[in-house]
Amino acid sequence: MTKYIVQGGTPLFGEVEISGAKNAAVAIIPAALMVDGVCRIENIPQISDVTLCLRILEQLGASVRTMNRHTVEIDCRKIHSTRTQQNPAGKIRASYYLVGALLGRFGQAEVAMPGGCNFGGLRPIDQHVKGFSALGAKVIVEGGFIHAKSEAGRLKGANVYLDVVSVGATMNIMMAAAMAEGNTVIENAAKEPHIVDLANFLNSMGANIRGAGTDTIKIRGVDRLCGGTYAIIPDQIEAGTYMAAVAATGGQVLVKNIIPKHMDCITAKLQECGVEVEEREDTLLVRRSGPLRKANVKTMPYPGFPTDMQPQITTVLSLAQGTSLVTEGVWSNRYRYVDELRRMGANIQVDEKTAVVEGVDHLTGAPIQAYDLRAGAAMVIAALAAHGESEITGVQYIERGYEDIIQKLRRLGAKIRSVEEPDDGEERKASIG
């Protein structure tokens, strides 16, 4: 068992380099299945979800060659199967992107139901199914697998109106339609930066996709996608997490390798809380020296405040003066982490989708647990800001989406280390940095 030991109460100072976007990488890597040639993908984050995605492609017959720490070459010309194995495909949310990619290129797919973080029950795939069905596929979910097949062999373009704004469905339908016969229009599409990134990747390989980043995406199907080189965008949520860490602990950090426009929704809310943010070309200088102020937050689809930043901003607000309201507008249950913050002295009451946060003077170190990826990031922020020592377990969730988080934080002056323990609880090995 791995856990993090954090000695809190130290402001953060220095520079942090943001990695490639997890939410883009876990869609772009499956999209490489559609490419009849070698595609070189750069700025890939070193996280466990990416490792699993690459392993799945190899199981299907792809050749994956690691060029350096953040660059891989993927050759999918010799794919021998359109059925994933239960392990590792069933471990990650992004497994459902394999359906759109395999269905788009081969007309069929059998993919294990998605895993990943659990909040709000099972992740619904009804909008994905609606889109695939409109394109001419028959979709059945049974035995823990999504079975999708086009009886005609190739999908046919169609108009798809999403009943709810869904990032996953938008990306999945876009992939499937990229090689469909004729034109496809996706209406009420999600607009997140990683949707634009996926469209740009597919276009760079020969697809014809217009309108990504708006609520209407138009796709003209092509017969073949060819190889090429593409660099993934920086991670909006990783950058926001480090910004929130500075807000909670105080200090000054230069957040490097970001697209400032993607950060506007997070920057504006932190500024409302009394955090200074100075925007430059591809960096943000984040500083907090005075007290934190209360704020109200509601998560919404992009360009609104992201649901993936909700636990982090709630942790910041737990240290702000006054009463803040946090409303979750995307997922039905994303407050499991609140009990952990209460163990540290936070004063938070949850009523369905709304959290009432009464700011406290300080948090106190405690044994706490990460229940999912972003809640885990919030636990790290809380521990960094707290008085005393905290132990964080469940860190495998954190490592699904944050590259080198221990090393990056230590370079900012944080007192944090990773410790491995055997099951009997006897400390066997400590890793510092």
Percent of the chain beyond pLDDT 90?
Answer: 88
Distance from C-alpha of 353 to C-alpha of 87, rounded to nearest angstrom: 33
pLDDT (tens digit per residue) in 97-125: 999 999 999 999 999 887 655 544 445 78
Distance from C-alpha of 33 to C-alpha of 60, rounded to nearest angstrom: 9
Distance from C-alpha of 28 to C-alpha of 40, rounded to nearest angstrom: 11
Amino acid at 395: V
> What pLDDT is attached to residue 4?
98
pLDDT over threshold 50, residue 431: no
Backbone angles phi, psi at 113, to 5 degrees: -55, 145
pLDDT confidence band for 188 (50 / 70 / 90): very high
> What pLDDT is attached to residue 151?
86
Which tokens is 381 given? 């922020």
Predicted model pTM: 0.94
Residues 53, 117, 265, 273: which is the catalytic one? 117
Least confident residue range of 46-55, 110-119, 170-179: 110-119
CA dihedral 116, 121, 123, 129 (to 10 degrees): 150
Least confident residue range of 38-42, 216-220, 425-429: 425-429
> What pLDDT is attached to residue 143?
86
91, 74 contact by CB (below 8 A): no
Alpha helices in 167-298 (DSSP H): 167-178, 193-204, 236-249, 264-272
117 is catalytic: yes
pLDDT confidence band for 252 (50 / 70 / 90): very high
Strands 159-161 and 183-187 turn out to be parallel
pLDDT (tens digit per residue) in 278-310: 999 999 999 999 999 999 999 999 999 999 999
pLDDT (tens digit per residue) in 192-238: 999 999 999 999 999 999 999 999 999 999 999 999 999 999 999 99
Strand-pair partners of 324: 357
Give every CB contact of residue 371 below 8 A, 6+ residues apart in sequence.
117, 336, 337, 340, 394, 397
**What count of other Cβ atoms lies within 10 Å of the Cβ of residue 407?**
11
